[in-house]
Amino acid sequence: MASTILNEQFYDKLCLCKVSSEKKWKCMNCKVLLCDLCKELHYAKDHEIVDVPVKEIIQDETNSFDIVLNQVVLCEQHNRSYWQYCQSCDVLVCLTCISNCHNNHKLKEVSDSYKIKMEKLKEQQTAISKSTAELDKNSVEISKWHKKAELKYQNAKDDIIIKEKVLIDAVHEYTRKLQSDLENKWNAMHETYTANQKHVQSTRAKFNNECTKLQDIIESKDLARVFGTSKSDEFADTSQELNMNTRPMQVFIPGKTPEINQFNFGELRTDIEVKVMNQLATEITDVNYLLCSRDGTVWIYDENETLLYHATPEGNNLTIMSRFQIFFLSMDSLPKSDDLLLCSGEPTLQQLDRIHGKLTDSKYRTDSYVYTTAIHITHDKRVIVGAKKGKQDTFYEHGRNSEILFKRSPCHITTSAEGNICVVDRERLTVLDGNGEVLNIYAGNDRINTSDNEFNPTDMVITPPNNLIVADSKNHYLHVLDSSGKLLTYFNTKDIGILLPRSMSFSKNEHLLISGSNEEGNSKKTILFEVKIIGY
């Protein structure tokens, strides 16, 4: 019995590689590598012993990795080789560890646990690599954002300096004008003064000469000379008067020095940020009108083909639910039914049933002598109609001073929250208040629109914060104005890959849908860009 215990103790020590570090054998029962001495002990227990190389390779199903099974790793606490892996505690354990505190824990072979651990480590490595790649991508985006912000900062700084110079130049120019006017006035008065002085001197010389003659006659006491003096000689040149009829010299009356503020100098505003959230590919040639419904569907009109499409956005594509061969000039949706109200030049507006596709005359009718070109339904359910001729209820062709407000036929109408009426007529935007008074006429911005790049408004929308966005299609710009028609900012859609922005409509999630192209000069394919606008 004592011999058996001794042998087991010796076997235990040999299994822990305290005798020899060279292992050439493997016990298939115990699944450990053995030195020559350990091999004999395992033979004595009728264990299956096989010959193995110094290193054993364990292949993973998808990856190859090596485990050096004869690597000696000792337990720091008991100075014995690790025997198994404790899954309960997630640590390697030796025999003493097992007997002391891991006896009833879930244990696993080191080699199997090694494979699992390696897989987890590789998964973590892959996750870190993906996170690093995402971090690098974010770093690039941050750099782009910073570069764009820096460019805007520099442009704003330059614009402030330019505005300062413009005001200074204007003050200098006006100062020079006043000084020039003052100099001209002074020169004229000085010339008059010089002429008067010459006249005084000339007259004084004559008077002195006459006075000398008279003195000689008086002193001569000659009767003939005294009576020989004529009356005209006595008053020679005394009737000529000096030229004193010029206006008094001008004086400078300083005006009130104005306070420099945002109204006469400008102000800093948070610029808008436009992000493309999605692109919807279409096979439509030209989108003239775009209208988002409350149910998420979209109405798209191609004027060239006189086709009206009713579509549903699905991912990056549009699913056409129905199409109608119809001609019209403007459309809007009725508040309750979401049916379309159309105008096509006729006095009676038409109504299109969105479900059954039936086209009928609506209850809305204008004067019989007008040609309807644009319609808009207000928040309080009033219908505003634009037309070539005639006077409509809340439509204004002439201002209070009888000036013509619209150079061409109105093509788009919308209203602000406070009831201002905004009208686009292809050349400019006119904003009227509810009484028909002109609040502003916007014909573009000098920094964008020139004689070669004229303002080309093709559509406009009112934003949720009650500002106006106007599409300047040919110049690839969006102009952002307040509800009275004053410019707030502008955005070049080329910067986000949108060319020729033409029609617009806000979706139910307050994203702006813009029809355009991503390839200049390509009119065969229209793309609907879903964009998110921040800061409008």
Per-residue pLDDT tens digits for 267-320: 777 778 899 999 998 888 889 899 999 889 999 999 889 999 999 998 888 899
Task: Say what the pLDDT of residue 16 is.
Answer: 46
Rounded Cα distance, 451 and 438, in Å: 25
pLDDT band at residue 376 under the 50/70/90 scheme: very high
Asked if 291 contacts 519 with a C-beta cutoff of 8 angstroms, the reply is no
Domain boundaries, the chain: 2-115, 116-234, 273-534
Contacts of 381 (CB under 8 A, 6+ apart): 335
- pLDDT for 511 beyond 90: yes
Residues facing 84 on adjacent strands: 93
Q: Give, as one character, the DSSP assignment of residue 414.
A: E
- pLDDT for 57 beyond 50: no
Rounded Cα distance, 487 and 419, in Å: 19
- Assign a CATH topology to domain 273-534: Neuraminidase (2.120.10)
pLDDT band at residue 370 under the 50/70/90 scheme: confident
Task: Say what the pLDDT of residue 130 is.
Answer: 92
- pLDDT for 185 beyond 50: yes
Dig out the tokens for 175 from the structure. 């100062």
Tell me which H or E stretch contains 475. none
pLDDT band at residue 242 under the 50/70/90 scheme: low
Task: Say what the pLDDT of residue 232 is.
Answer: 47
Q: Which of 384, 420, 385, 427 is nearest to 405 (CA)?
A: 427
Rounded Cα distance, 353 and 359, in Å: 6
Q: What is the mean pLDDT of residues 82-101?
A: 87
Q: What is the mean pLDDT of the chain?
A: 81
Asked if 78 contacts 102 with a C-beta cutoff of 8 angstroms, the reply is no
Q: Which of 201, 184, 17, 6 is nearest to 94 (CA)?
A: 17
Rounded Cα distance, 485 and 126, in Å: 54
- Helices first, then strands: H and E counts in the chain: 6, 30
pLDDT band at residue 475 under the 50/70/90 scheme: very high
pLDDT in tens, 100-156: 888 888 888 877 788 888 888 999 999 999 999 999 999 998 998 899 889 888 988
Rounded Cα distance, 25 and 4, in Å: 23
Task: Say what the pLDDT of residue 62 is.
Answer: 40
pLDDT band at residue 20 under the 50/70/90 scheme: low
Task: Say what the pLDDT of residue 238 is.
Answer: 47
pLDDT in tens, 324-336: 999 999 999 998 8
- pLDDT for 505 beyond 60: yes
Other beta carbons within 10 Å of 499: 16
> What are the C-alpha distances in Å from 418 to residues 14, 91, 414, 434, 467?
94, 72, 12, 9, 11
Q: Which residues of 506-533 are buried (b: 16+ CB within 10 A; e: fewer)?
A: beeeebbbbbbbbeeeeeeebbbbbbeb
- pLDDT for 210 beyond 90: no
Tell me which H or E stretch contains 164. helix 110-220
Amino acid at 529: F
Rounded Cα distance, 357 and 351, in Å: 10
Q: What is the mean pLDDT of residues 366-381?
A: 85
Q: Which of 91, 37, 75 is nearest to 27 (CA)?
A: 37
Task: Say what the pLDDT of residue 372 is.
Answer: 85
Phi/psi for 356 (5° steps) reads -95, -10
- pLDDT for 402 beyond 60: no
Task: Say what the pLDDT of residue 123 is.
Answer: 93
pLDDT band at residue 63 under the 50/70/90 scheme: very low
Rounded Cα distance, 525 and 516, in Å: 9
Q: What is the mean pLDDT of residues 392-417?
A: 62
Task: Say what the pLDDT of residue 230 is.
Answer: 61
- pLDDT for 474 beyond 80: yes
